[in-house]
Amino acid sequence: MNLSIFFEPLNEDVFTGLNKPRTLGAYITRFVSKFPDWRGADIAILGINETRGSGTDENTEAALAPARIVRKKLYSLTKGAGSCNIVDLGNLRPGITLDDTYLRLKEIVELLLSHNTIPVIIGGSHDLEYGQFMGYEHLERVVNMVTVDSSVDMTEEASAPANKKQLRNILMHEPNYLFSLGQIGYQSYLVEPEVMATLEKMHFEAYRVGEVHRNVQEMEPVVRLADLLTIDISAIRHQDAPAYEPANPFGLTGEEACQLCWYAGLNDNLTSLGIYEYNPALDKDELTAMTVATMIWYFIEGYYHRKNEVSFNSRQFTKYAVAFNDAPDKMVFYKSMQSEKWWLEVESLSEGKSPRIVPCSYEDYLQATNGEVPNRWILTQARIG
């Protein structure tokens, strides 16, 4: 497939002066006149100027700027000490209809994944994560998704815009290949109790913004489980990212958002990142653009610090078996000797099914040694049956 037909080239004049030595701009190959060779790239940046999912009838001039402004900030940041094999594909041309855009994004994500290139999507409205999710359908296996949002976009109201109900579309998608969904940073006063009851019934994980504030490190195993991560800018407090509406004084700090992106970059299994709902018309002093650019910078840095921890039978891991009182059953944990991260082995209740090893925290291990079954073990076993 010729990817270039789906993308609009970038205006090089916008990036004048951003190619200084040691900045990311000097290392990222971007689509200006010649489409970059993306097949050998580690990461591919793409913008999507699509806001119809927010209820806007058409893509306004203001909507065309998000990815451009974020790029200006990102390119000016100092490159890290590691490698940097990154391309910028430009901006994806929206489809005639919103559904066409979803399908177009699906094709792009699918193709990039098939070549082990990670798409980093700087999007318009958050409903575009539906297209990002559909890009995994060809894998013919279950996938894990984590979304960072102040609300849970699962409304059943027919009149609601698309960016308030895309999670419902994902849950109802056929074929159903979603194994787990993690919701990080939601605010209870923005979510209907029935929606939270649905997540609980489906044995999905959900963490309030207060839980993130108390211990952001406990979100690392949640992010480490993900194949794809999506972030709605509204999850970040207005002081750190004012470019969304309606304004919200509460939410994640910019530092916490960057920490989550660092965890995502480190995740050996994560293969796409989408950041949505940035509205440049509301971005005083381009503060939000700088926040988003820094989040992407941390994701890139995390990616180039991956440990490739995938084989639990290797000497890289120490195996721990925790017995429960006098019962013969044991709970098995694995600890990486390199990163000191923890994993938990969960047995299936059904015969013939292999156990599943999922990320966990040291707190889960301590809980098990005290004779308590970690909630992560209970939720995982309920999902695998």
pLDDT of residue 116: 96
Q: What is the DSSP string of 121-139?
A: EE-SSGGGHHHHHHTTGGG
**C-alpha–C-alpha distance, residues 16 and 32, integer Å:** 13
Domain boundaries, the chain: 3-303, 317-384
pLDDT at 16: 74
Tokens read off for 293 = 């650019």
* Spatial separation of the C-alpha atoms in residues 360 and 335, rounded to whole Å: 10
What's the average model confidence in pLDDT over 278-296? 93
CATH of domain 3-303: 3.40.800.10
Q: Are 113 and 272 in contact (CB under 8 A)?
A: yes
- Residues 5-47: tens digit of each pLDDT: 999 999 887 777 777 888 998 899 999 989 999 999 999 999 9
pLDDT digits (tens, 9 = 90+) for 99-121: 999 999 999 999 999 999 999 99
Tens digit of each residue's pLDDT (9 = 90 or more) over 147-172: 999 999 998 888 899 999 999 999 99
Alpha-carbon distance of 189 to 24, in angstroms, equals: 40
